Chain A
Amino acid sequence: MSLRRVLALPGWAAHVRLLAGAAGLDRPLATVQATLDASRAPEAGELTVVVRPVAGTDWRIDALLRRCADAGATAVLLPAAAPLTASRLLADRLAVPLLGTDASPLDLLVEARLLLAAPELDRADLLLATHRALGDRLRPPEEVVAVLRRLLRSPVAVLDDRGVPLAGEVTGRVRLDEPVPQRTELDDGVLVAHPVLLQRPALWLAAELRGTEAARADVVPPALAVAAGVLQRWLLANRLELERDARSRTALLGDLLRLDTEPGADLRRRVADAGWRLGGWHVGLHIGAPAAVDTVARTQDVVRALRAEDVEAVVVEHGDGWTGWVTFDHEPTAARVRSLATRLQAAHRTLRLGAHMGVGRPHARPDGLAATVAEARDAARLAATRPETGHFLHVDQLGMAQLLLEWTRTDTFEPAARALIAPLLDAPGDLVRTLAAYLDAESSLAETATVLGVHRNTVAARVARISQLLGVDLSRPDERLALHLASRAVTLE
């Protein structure tokens, strides 16, 4: 509220004159106070109305102007007085508007007070109406939008954290990176928005006030805040249900994957309650997601995407993303598996979470479920480093050997391999190539010597050095396998 607005009131416009201090007309106005004499100590934002006649020569007019300036008060209204030039000059100097009137100052005060109170009354009315309409019940976004649209007589929408409407429709844009109540000027109105916060804005509530409704831009935000609170409760309740559900499903999956005997009656019962099947043939799948993705909240998106491709899969939040499987009554044909993989790949493309997806081979029975899920997780891990396949891998297309070799190309394997071989890299002699050739030749010194074109004794000496430098026993199969893969990874570059 500004002093200019008050001066435009009918009573004020007709009876109040600005005597001096025009430079202060845009001072903010918060309150209008009456005083019997000029010795009052005004507050910030106060328009002081002197209601008892005061002589224009009274020095206390000057003192009051000064106290107004010091306190950040807005203006002084004098009744029926002709202040001295000195007072007018002072009002100009301090930029405190000095007003004079011949009308009743109390009437003017009442008129100004009503104007000041009007936005407050409107705001209070709207708040009460919003409370009454939304009540204590949990309300989904559609109902909140309907209530607000009726109360505000304006378009209202609930937007998700990407600005896409979940309910309702507005044309203005919300600044999604500023999680505070917002006000944006539009061509013919105002867009007001309020974030629905969990840890960060999960939803936005936005209303578009156009035409005459734009004048209520100061009145609406508290109502939006109340409605945002309702949506927050709804989100929290939903979330609680999802979390509880996700936790029990994850636990059940864990129990299944750890199974090494036939499942007991109790476990079978829990599986049946979850609507899963243990019999038949299973094809596992795993979707890995970046750490920032809220997997519990997104599960429904994943299920929807799969269903859209006509894949009826069980999906469980698991590890870095989701683990799932499709169950067939009989052993699926190669064509059916290929078709399933194609549809899974399509679903993966529509998800756009920055996720990677792996698909296992068909396996039968509960123990087969664990196997295909394990294959799918391995494939997903590989897919993460394979942009050329769209971060999608199906174990069937690879064959297990290739899958194993793929390991040597991963980001994690390479540094490990390099570290394992490192002592050989700095030593004289072609030790890495010698090691690779020796293992390729199944530990035949003669064969190795032929491949490398050196003397047999040289190879023997090098193998002894290698064994000594690495501190390994080349007759042990595990160590041979690790070194074989590592030397391949390093020499393949």
Chain B
Amino acid sequence: MRITAGDVAALERGVALLGSGGGGDTVTAAVLLRRLTEGGREPEVSAIGELAPDARVVPVGVVGATAAFTEKLPGGDEFAAAVAAVERWTGERADALMSIEIGGLNGLLPLVVAEQLGLAYADADLSGRGLPRLDQFSVAATGRGIAPAALAEPGGQVVVLAAGSDAVIERGTRAFLAGSGGWAAFALAPLPAGELAACAVPGTTSGALALGRRVLAAGESPGRAALEAALAGSVLARGRVLEVTRHVGPGQHGSPGFGRGSVTLADHRDGALLRLEMENEYLLALRDGAPVASTPDVLSVLDHRTGVPVSCDAIRAGVEVDVVRLAAAPFWTDPRWLPVVRPRAYGIDCDPVGLP
């Protein structure tokens, strides 16, 4: 499957939906991808079964403040530096790249990087949605571990976090980002393609593209039923945002936590109050106080008029929105991996809602 210029809009919409309100702004990454494809370079996306089993696949992506990524543009060498660092550390050559996170800008940018570096691209990622922390990656959940990991920031620094538990790598990465430009290109040690089925979420790029195509085909301001059919999900509420609050959540190890907040809207249909609890992503939906949806399912807020997903950073009172739920990737409903992404993993004392 090749990504053509005509696919970019649909893929952007798909990865934005899967960001669940997080994952970063897709605009810059989409511009880069569009320029690439309009120049005639159409990245080839290979299903993991199409790659040689011993092909080395390096997961890459942007970590840190995605808002800073938009403000402080990449110099262009960061990803090459990060991939080179991890190659040198492990002594293995990268044959292909994959995304660390399908939701948001990381669903687009690794395609650009693979094309620029002349590497193949695997149709898989480590998240299946938008996730806030490195230690929630599928390779961490399955016990494979994320070390070693390489970071390259726009200022030129390159760091390899050679060893440590997933929590230590997460903490080290955050500390490095706080002391540098706020974001960095990130690369993990190469994974043999034959092992991806066991430790990654497969088919997510093609899935995001298909989702985006269906949603765009539904047009602007689609009816409830049309929207649900396009999403293969459900509309939890459709109405005007009444209140958005933000506060700093509980931190760990003396550092402040992620920003927390909640969004409340009144459903136009019956006046019911829908409240969303959010961190970097929308995590829990309560309808009149009763939990009706939660992570690992993907909760997205769409601008009612344009259908464009509204991120947790951007949501404001007064906007007309649709709150929707998409089913979680099957990887996360596996009882072995569920604890990594259930609400309690975010400090929300609530059982997962709506799992099959």
Hey, which bits of chain A sit against chain B, CB under 8 A? 39, 55, 57, 59-60, 62-67, 69-70, 84-86, 89-90, 93-94
Contacts and interface: CB of A to CB of B under 8 A. Distances in A.
B19 to A, nearest CB: 21
B247 interface: yes
28 contacts: A39-B349, A55-B247, A57-B245, A57-B247, A57-B261, A59-B275, A60-B349, A62-B273, A63-B286, A63-B290, A63-B291, A63-B350, A66-B290, A69-B289, A84-B245, A85-B242, A85-B264, A86-B243, A86-B262, A86-B264, A86-B275, A89-B264, A89-B266, A89-B273, A93-B271, A93-B273, A93-B288, A94-B288
A85 B242 CA distance: 8
A86 to B, nearest CB: 4
Interface of B: 242-243, 245, 247, 260-262, 264, 266, 271-273, 275, 277, 284, 286, 288-291, 348-350
Closest 7 interchain pairs by CB? Answer: A66-B289, A86-B264, A62-B289, A85-B243, A66-B290, A59-B277, A65-B289
B158 to A, nearest CB: 40
A63 B289 contact: yes
A70 B290 CA distance: 10
B267 to A, nearest CB: 11
Contacts of B288: 66, 90, 93-94
B264 A84 contact: yes
A58 B275 CA distance: 11
B286 A62 contact: yes
A67 B262 CA distance: 20
Contacts of B264: 84-86, 89
Contacts of A70: 290
Contacts of B275: 59, 62, 86, 90
Residue with the highest number of chain A CB atoms closer than 10 Å, among B247, B271, B349: B349
Residue with the highest number of chain B CB atoms closer than 10 Å, among A55, A65, A70, A90: A90
A421 to B, nearest CB: 84
B258 to A, nearest CB: 14
Given A69-B289, A84-B264, 15 more contacts: A57-B262, A60-B349, A62-B275, A62-B289, A63-B290, A65-B289, A66-B288, A66-B289, A66-B290, A86-B242, A86-B264, A90-B288, A90-B289, A93-B273, A94-B289
B28 to A, nearest CB: 32
A338 B216 CA distance: 117
Residue with the highest number of chain B CB atoms closer than 10 Å, among A60, A67, A70: A60
Nearest to B283: A59
Contacts of A60: 349
Nearest to B348: A59
B119 to A, nearest CB: 44
Contacts of B277: 59
